[in-house]
Amino acid sequence: MARCFHPFLPAKFPSPPPSRAFYCSSAAEFESQARIQEDLRKFRDLVQQNRSATAKKLLKELTTVHSVSQLYNASSQSSTPASVKPVFTNTLLTIYAESKLSNEAGELYSLIRKDGNFPFLSAFNLFLESLVNLSRFRQTVEIFNEVVNAGISVDAFSYGKAIQSVVKLGDLKKGLELLNQMKRCGVSPNGFVYNVLIGGLCREKRVDDAKKLFDEMLRRNIVPNRVTYNSIIDGCCKAGDLEGAFGFREKMKNDKVEPNISTYNTLLGGLCKMGRMEESYMILKEMAAYGFIPDGFTYSIIFDGHIRRGNAETSVALYEDATKQGVKINEYTCSILLNGLCKEGKMDKAEELLRKFKESGVVLTEVMLNTIVNGYCKLGFMDKAFRVIDEMGIAGVKPSCITYNAVISKFCSLGQMDTASEWFKKMSDDGLCPSVQTYNILIDGYGHSGQFERCLEILEEMENNGVKPSVVTYGSLMNNLSKRGRRLEMEVIYHDMLNRGISPNVQIYNMLIDSHCMGGRIGDAFNVLDEMEKIDVLPTIVTYNALISGLCKKGRVVEAEKIATNIMSKGLSPDVITYNSLISGFSDAGDLEKCLELYEKLKNSGITPTVNTYHPIIRICKREGLSLVEKIVLEMCQRNLFPDRILYNELIRCCVEHGDIHKATSWYNEMSNRRIPPDKMTYTSLIMKCLKEGDLRGARDHFDELCIKGLSPNDETFNILIDGHCKLKDFDGACLWYNEMLKTGFLPSVHVCNNLLSGLKEEGRLKEAETICAEMSIKGVNNLSLNEDL
């Protein structure tokens, strides 16, 4: 053990609670003191005879009839030899610690320290352990800090309890600092210390850091035990690294560390979450080989795995087999089964299972019945949900906030805010206080419907009722404001949140960054990122995707790609949205080679492209001709992805521009057969197709159909019509479309206008050409090529 000053500020140790004064003002008190002194003499004799167990038993009996201060003061005033007094106080501290009498232990420890003494390290460690066992983690850390700052030597056990406490308090950073402090002070960390830190890191999904500590253990010749392996296997499973989890399971076998049922349940959980059900049954067989019988929790994991794959019926069949084998399935597991059926909309089966639970003696819980209510609400079967709510009372289960929240949430999602408010009032009438979740549901509902004044009223109502808004409350309101483009108000709400002392989370910061990027304020977006990093809010892939998208829209594609590359070093991986943004950015920049390079990189990374991936690729590939476009489309279809309206529009336009009218018609027919309604761009491309075919009647029909469907033509539509008629030498038609274009408030492009003027001049219709030039000049268009000629 080495003396070493602690790096943290010393905590002021609380004064001991006042105890009864030790005095002898009466015969009774004198007699009591005399008895204590006699007992202390007995204790001294037993200690000197090396009968420590008997001495401890005697002292334990004294603790039941005398206070801490009486015993301590009696020891201080007795004629007990100096060598025995520390034994007395340390034995007494040990007794209090072992008996979980933490207040008495704390009072005695304070008296010892007040006199400038320190207990034996063994007693001190027992005292720390007793505090930890009672979850008094903050007090443990304060006492540890005071001791080490006083320069008193402690050992690995003491550090272990301090590290355990800070990890329990959620301060892993301090835990790792204490580990380094141990090593600097020459105190060798033990397996317990490493297990605590590895467990803490794994719970925070910092598996790579946990693996580094595991390797450090091995370098220090500290043998990992079952706790070590179970922690790191659990961390790998939660991080989705099943190969890593099974790798440590193999190492566990090689090191001859026996697994327990927790090991297997963890591996089963990892497999089931990934939908690898066939492998999960192999684990069950291995469990049986080791003599482990699956318990109710094991089955709950398997049930959940099948439910995740949409196989709730398989879970029900497995439940029936398990109950026949005598496996006790608890209420929690029953709730998982009901939830799975309700998620799949199999409400009849869920109610049937509920009846079976009741018949088998399972007590129907609030969770089970709320699951049924929620299931009906999600399907919109509100009458059936109301029936179950009525039946809850018969079953002796009172509807809770969660029950009402399910109903209110459904009416909010349907936009029926008046009905949602009625249920909110009914909830209060039934004696239930709305929770923060209830208010959040209402605020989100009113936000979706654009009733932001009502949202602010509810926010005020929350405060008046003593319900503090959460970060979710503000996040919902900010999100709805952002969706409606009311970004300035969104930022006002954000600052109101800060003023109320509510700390933003990563989702709030992501909204702010996305808002700035959508508004083209890239600098402000990066300022928010800097603020996140200053307060240790870790950016997610969503954060970086917003920045990458914003940069790409500004044409800053090189910077965007650099960010995408750098996020790998932050433990994040680019996803399909990252690649889609980059491909779109380079497509807008006209860099076909880079688009195709990113597309290949996406596929090689094991990421599945989406239809949105192909939008910018087709858009840029069509410049190179039909063959490349057809190759990309074929590959897309082979991935079971089919064009949406945007892609059909690109494909039809591409074929028309490259003169393949037959293929353009084919794409349009396929689009119609798939019941994808045409839009303005579709009709404009069809008009172009008809004009290329010389079908003026067809062009007019498509234009009329466009207008009938309420799709207003744009300047491109009119330019194509005018230019198409000019190319067909139908200048009367071109002039008609020119005049119609002016009536709608659009102006022809200079190129199209020059083509029209040239055609009129060739036909000797100079007067009409002059009129057009004059009209265009009045409207501010003076750079027509025929102005001088005319």
Task: Flag whether the pTM goes above 0.85.
Answer: no
Q: Crossing angle for the helix pair 506-518 and 487-499, nearest 10 degrees?
A: 150
Q: Do residues 587 and 595 lie in contact, with contact meaning Cβ atoms separated by under 8 Å? A: yes
Question: Encoding tokens for residue 383?
Answer: 């009458």
**pLDDT by 10-residue block (mean), the chain, 790 residues:** 38 42 49 70 74 80 80 70 75 85 87 87 91 92 92 92 94 94 93 95 91 94 95 92 92 92 92 86 87 83 82 79 75 85 88 84 88 94 94 87 95 94 93 93 94 93 91 94 89 92 93 92 94 90 96 96 90 93 96 95 92 94 89 92 94 92 94 94 96 95 94 94 95 95 93 93 91 88 63
Name, in order, each residue with C-beta under 8 angstroms of 143's C-beta and a sequence gap of 6 or more.
Answer: 13, 109, 127, 128, 131
pLDDT at 24 (0 to 100): 41
Residue type, 458: I
Q: What is the pLDDT of residues 79-138, one digit of tens each?
A: 666 667 788 788 888 888 888 888 888 888 888 888 888 988 988 999 999 999 999 999
Q: Do residues 370 and 388 lie in contact, with contact meaning Cβ atoms separated by under 8 Å? A: no
Virtual CA dihedral for 405, 408, 413, 418, nearest 10 degrees? -160
Q: Do residues 717 and 686 lie in contact, with contact meaning Cβ atoms separated by under 8 Å? A: no
Query: How many residues belong to the chain?
Result: 790
Q: What is the pLDDT of residues 342-360, one digit of tens each?
A: 988 889 988 888 888 888 7
Torsion sign (Cα): 733, 734, 740, 743: negative
Residue type, 608: T
Q: What is the third-level CATH fold of 1-186? A: 1.25.40
pLDDT at 474 (0 to 100): 94
